[in-house]
Amino acid sequence: MSQLEPPSTMNCPASSSMYALQDVPGKGKGLIATRKLPRGTRIIVERPLISILADMDDGRRRRFIRQQVEALSNDQRHAFLSMHNIHRFDDVEDQYLGIFSTNALSTLESVVYNDDQPREAVFLEASRINHDCDNNALHEWNARIKQHTVHTIRDIDAGEEITISYVELLEKRESRQKTLRELFGFTCSCRLCSLPDEQSQERDRKLDQIARLNKLWKYAGGEEFTTLPLKTLGYLHSLVRLYSELGLEDDGFATVYKDAAYFVLLHGDAARACLFSLKALSVWEKVVGADHTFSHRCRIEAECPSRLPLYGDESDKWMTAEHEVPQGLEPDDFEHWLWKRENPKDLAQPTSLPKQSHFSGLADLPTKNDVGTGVSSNKRHWCFLGEIVDTQVPHPLELEIKDIHGKKIKLHFYTKDEGSELKPSQYQNGHTVAVLDAARYVFKFGPPGIRHEDPHMVKTFPLSLAMMLGLYDKVRKFSVRQHDGTRKCHGCGVNAPASSMKRCSMCFSFWYCNKECQATGWTTKAHKIDCKFLRDPDLRGLLLVEWDEIQEGIRFPLKIASSSS
């Protein structure tokens, strides 16, 4: 590598009226907002004070940093020397290197030289910003204006410290803490690092899900792009939801929308490509600026996606023009259309349940703090039912389900195997999931749902919720012995002494007067269909159990004496 000349002397940027350099307890100096700063405010624009190649060896780093420091004006050098230094030093070069290493920010573009290589740089203003894992600002090199910028990524109140993250935003707590200790010499005590263990684990779990979904998306090319496009688009939809739940609406969030635009465009869908590009643009304009390369490129792509080379490159199965966007849809319906998700059919509500409380929806459940976990030994037991409408994340498994009241909720698998104990064939859309002694859990990141921990307390059944509730009606009517010792024939509907009737030998559920009645039930009363499902003893048990009478613990497989015998 040829020797590089130091950069020319630059004027110190004037102090901004939007912030002031002040003492911050436990952090030394930091930038404090002097007025309310709305999300998307550009608060700093500056060129680097000192810059070196990121992969430069230690000897070269020392030499080039010293050359650049000595080329600074007296005011600039004084400002540089006043910056924090976490490293011990024995001479001037050590001191300069320590200050640089403590305060340098990464820049992914050529800063001063035209070599197109990643660099590290110290800035008079941006390098004063302290770290917070829950940062409220984002720094980025803007190649189009050849300057470093800092934007607010959420509203900042007057008197609030402006912070950036020194680590990757998708790192988990333990990894973040390790990186900060090793590279910057401090232990972070920010809001995210101070969360209770359970809430921190919940957040780390979502970060794991993002990492796995990113990997699934990254390696979903080739045949899967063509043969399973809805599945691949579902990965991106889940990523958007996870970013939103964690409040990570930054450049990574915009990238997911950009990827979604490219993907639907590959299948000829210009309408959705335009909308996804506009969503990406709205984020990028706020977090990196309207004049950034990302925003500029996205703005062009949103204007007429069908003219781009990617248009229909994989298939034409989703072919649309830019203007083919439905109008007048409710927000939820529009989101279903945008992500090509079928609207779940309205669940048929049971009209003649003998006991409406036999099964529970989310609103009927106690909160997690009110009940124990695992196999319950409480005297009172219950069962939550819901129909699967979407697999939000494959691992750790997270299902979107619709309960008996029609409310959509999330079922999060916190089992040891994080849901992998179930095969994909066991949690298809339209299947019904039963959770024994379920509890309503209030998540820190995301809406209330069910946190499932014991694999023996959940089971899925390959039939819709409406069909399962309909079976409940039938089983209670045609399987249970009446108080007078009679049973009702499933074929003719006549009550007869139980001792004179015969039951189906395959499902052990329905009773008949004779073979003629059995044939009637099989052909005209849908027992041919019902029988297949009722052969599962766990399903029969759920439909027959009297919850108030169970004194011991309950789990799958169910061991419940059948009242139909």
State yes or no: pLDDT of 131 exceeds 70.
Answer: yes
Q: Tell me the average pLDDT across 234-241.
A: 92
Contact, 39 vs 154, CB < 8 A? yes
What pLDDT was estimated at residue 249?
85
Give the Å distances, CA to CA, from 229 to 113, 211, 305, 351, 374: 43, 20, 19, 39, 38
**256-306 confidence digits (pLDDT tens):** 999 999 999 999 999 999 999 999 999 999 999 999 999 999 999 999 999
pLDDT band at residue 5, thresholds of 50, 70 and 90? very low
pLDDT band at residue 115, thresholds of 50, 70 and 90? low
- Look at the block and give the residue holding tokens 């993002």: 210
State yes or no: pLDDT of 561 exceeds 60.
Answer: no
Residues 6 or more apart in contact with residue 158 via CB below 8 angstroms: 33, 34, 35, 36
What pLDDT was estimated at residue 349?
41
Name the residue type at position 321.
Answer: A
**DSSP result, 41-64:** -EEEEE--SEEEETT--HHHHHHH
Contact, 51 vs 111, CB < 8 A? yes
Q: Tell me the average pLDDT across 214-239.
A: 79
**265-274 confidence digits (pLDDT tens):** 999 999 999 9
CA distance 483 to 485: 5
Q: Tell me the average pLDDT across 342-356.
A: 42
What pLDDT was estimated at residue 254?
95
What pLDDT was estimated at residue 6?
33
**59-95 confidence digits (pLDDT tens):** 899 999 999 999 999 999 999 999 999 889 989 999 9
pLDDT band at residue 221, thresholds of 50, 70 and 90? low
pLDDT band at residue 345, thresholds of 50, 70 and 90? very low
Q: What is the mean pLDDT of the chain?
A: 86
State yes or no: pLDDT of 108 exceeds 70.
Answer: no
More confident site: 478 or 112:
478
What pLDDT was estimated at residue 547?
78
Count of beta carbons in the 10 Å neighbourhood of residue 121: 25
Q: Tell me the average pLDDT across 38-42.
A: 96
**443-498 confidence digits (pLDDT tens):** 988 899 999 999 999 999 999 999 999 999 899 899 888 888 899 999 999 999 98
State yes or no: pLDDT of 422 exceeds 70.
Answer: yes
State yes or no: pLDDT of 111 exceeds 50.
Answer: no
What pLDDT was estimated at residue 196?
95
Look up the pTM and report it.
Answer: 0.78
Q: Tell me the average pLDDT across 391-410.
A: 88
pLDDT band at residue 17, thresholds of 50, 70 and 90? confident
